[in-house]
Chain A
Amino acid sequence: MADNKENDPESQHYDVYEVFVQRDPLGYHTHIGSVVAASSEMAQIVARENFLRRDTAISIWVVRQTNIHETSYEDTDFFVNRATDKSYRDVAGYVDNAKKWKAFKERAITIDDLVRDAKR
């Protein structure tokens, strides 16, 4: 917000708010864009007008942009992370299991089977 000419309305500007929308009760708040507004209450109203004219949502978070601490896109660690083989950490690294269960005349199961059990 404004500098030292704080009392001069002409030189004051709206703050930028980043907007996060939650679509359903078990959903996460997801970043959708940003708005400018004079207050957090106004930012919520503007966000609703800008992003939810058609889509439905159950909750909006607005966060003053200056309160967001982002990583740098130059931080290539994220890519290096992807370059190393991490198959030992993923389900995809264990496809052999299914073949082996078959050799024991048993069907392989995945977590989805157990989640489906829970809903029965």
Chain B
Amino acid sequence: MSPGSQVNGDSRQVTFMERIERGEKIEATDWMPEEYRKLLIKQIHMHGISEVMGAYPEKEWVPKAPNLRRKLALIAKVQDEIGHGQLLLRVAEDLAKPYGKVRDDMIEDVYTGRVKFHNVFHMDAPTWADAGVIGFLVDGGAIITQASLLDSSYAPYGRILTRICAEESFHMQHGESIVLALAEGTEEQREMLQQAIHHWWPSMMFFFGPPEMSGASLRMMDYRIRTRTNEELRQRFIGRYAPRIHALGLTIPDAKLCHDPTTDQWTYSEPDWDWFGHMVRENTGPKSQERLQMRKQAHEGQKWVRDAMIRATVLQTQAI
């Protein structure tokens, strides 16, 4: 790595990289290179928006949950995901302050196409088993990613992730609970679960990103914003979840999937990188447009409430 490469002679850049290499944590109020700030905004904005969009596939199942307890749990999870979005956007906003970005911009960026969200939340969730498998595999994958970010060089991000992970532990158990109930259920329920596993597995292989990481991702590794490669995270995911799916007596739609005990590495079939990549870039997934439309409608439809609140506060201060 060559610390001051792009800002030659800037001693602040050199000092900053020395701090990073010593494992020091950076605060919002510290000086930071613009590249570091922009990478953080990109990462945390995308993360926050993905939390918000992540509530949509599951929210669709709230009215159709099989019993009251499941309904309450699903509502609780949806609330958590929206809450995670709020916490993360707050962290991103502090970073984006020099660019004059506020909450409205952060939110609008998703339906104007300026920020992307995770591939998994573009997908449809046709059955109740999908609602369970989202908690099982998608939250499982998200936890593996988030756990690897707990040690991020940017302290406000790491701090908020500690809180988020504490809540994710419930998501994990909630998802597994639905999956286990179906796995020990009727043939029809097991078949529904099997279909859902097949439906989500390729998405999960894409979720962690390509083995050959992009320039921006590599720079994030240099800055220790993240410390694990895409492939390391994917390997951990397969290592944890493939055996669990097999234990349930279910199959994974990948004939190549196998574990090499000597290297502790899994071989797997590559997902259709082009298809998923295009879907995330252009919002062309099965549910992308529908959910973006709902997001836009929610944001714009509530505008009068936000405006009224501001007007009320202004009037109140004038009265004093």
Q: A28-B159, A103-B184, A110-B169 are in contact. List 8 more A-B contacts (CB 8 A).
A: A27-B159, A93-B173, A96-B177, A97-B176, A106-B247, A109-B240, A118-B144, A118-B236
Contact of A91 among B159, B169, B236, B247 (CB under 8 A): B169
Q: Complex Cα distance A89/B176, Å?
A: 14
For A114, the chain B residues whose CB sits under 8 A away are 140, 143-144, 147, 172, 236, 240
B24 to A, closest residue via Cβ: A25
Q: Which chain B residue lies CB-closest to A113? A: B240
Say yes or no: B170 contacts A106, CB within 8 Å. no
Task: Give the interface SS of chain A, mostly helix, strand, loop or mixed.
Answer: helix
What's the least CB distance linking A95 to chain B, in Å?
9
Residue A94 at the B interface, CB < 8 A?
A: yes
Contact A26 B243 (CB under 8 A): no
B140 proximity list for chain A (CB < 8 A): 114
B173 near A97 with CB under 8 A, answer yes
Q: Any chain A CB within 8 A of the CB of B162?
A: yes
B250 shortest CB reach to chain A, Å: 10
Asked if B72 and A101 make an inter-chain contact with CB atoms under 8 angstroms apart, the answer reads no
A104 within 8 A of B: yes
Q: With A94-B176, A117-B144 known to touch, is A111 a contact of B25 (CB < 8 Å)?
A: no
Is residue A83 contacting chain B, with contact meaning CB distance below 8 A? no
Chain B residues near A90: list those with CB within 8 A. Answer: 170
Interface size class of chain A, counting residues whose CB lies under 8 Å from the partner chain:
20 to 34
Contacts A118-B144, A118-B147; is A111 near B172 (CB within 8 Å)?
Answer: yes
Rounded to whole angstroms, the CA-CA distance of A80 and B50 in the bound complex is 33
Whether A100 contacts B180 in the complex (CB less than 8 A), given A26-B162, A28-B159, comes out as yes
Bound together, the chains give a CA A29 to CA B123 distance in angstroms of 40
Q: Which B residues touch A28, using CB under 8 A? A: 159
A115 within 8 A of B: yes
Docked Cα-Cα span, A87 to B267, in Å, equals 39
Once the chains bind, are B170 and A91 in contact (CB under 8 Å)?
Answer: yes
The count of residues in chain B whose C-beta lies closer than 8 Å to any C-beta of chain A is: 37
Chain A interface (Cβ < 8 Å from any Cβ of B): 25-28, 86, 88-91, 93-94, 96-97, 100-101, 103-106, 109-111, 113-115, 117-119
Q: Is B14 an interface residue (CB 8 A)?
A: no
Selected A-B contacts with CB under 8 Å, 6 pairs: A96-B180, A97-B176, A100-B180, A104-B247, A111-B143, A118-B236
Known interface pairs A26-B155, A110-B169, A118-B147; A97-B177 also in contact (CB < 8 Å):
yes
Q: Does B76 contact A (CB under 8 A)?
A: yes
Please determine whether A118 and B159 come into contact, CB atoms closer than 8 angstroms: no
B150 within 8 A of A: yes
Q: In the bound complex, do residue B147 and residue A117 qualify as a contact, i.e. CB atoms below 8 Å apart?
A: yes
Judge whether B165 and A111 touch: CB under 8 Å.
Answer: yes
Identify B76's interface contact among A88, A96, A105, A113, CB under 8 A.
A88
CB distance from B124 to the nearest CB of A (A): 26
Contact status A105-B247, CB under 8 Å: yes
Contact B144 A101 (CB under 8 A): no
Cα A103 to Cα B185 in complex, Å, equals: 13
Q: Which of B131-165 contact A (CB under 8 A)?
A: 140, 143-144, 147-148, 150-151, 155, 158-159, 162, 165
Q: Quick check: is B110 within 8 A (CB to CB) of the other chain? A: no
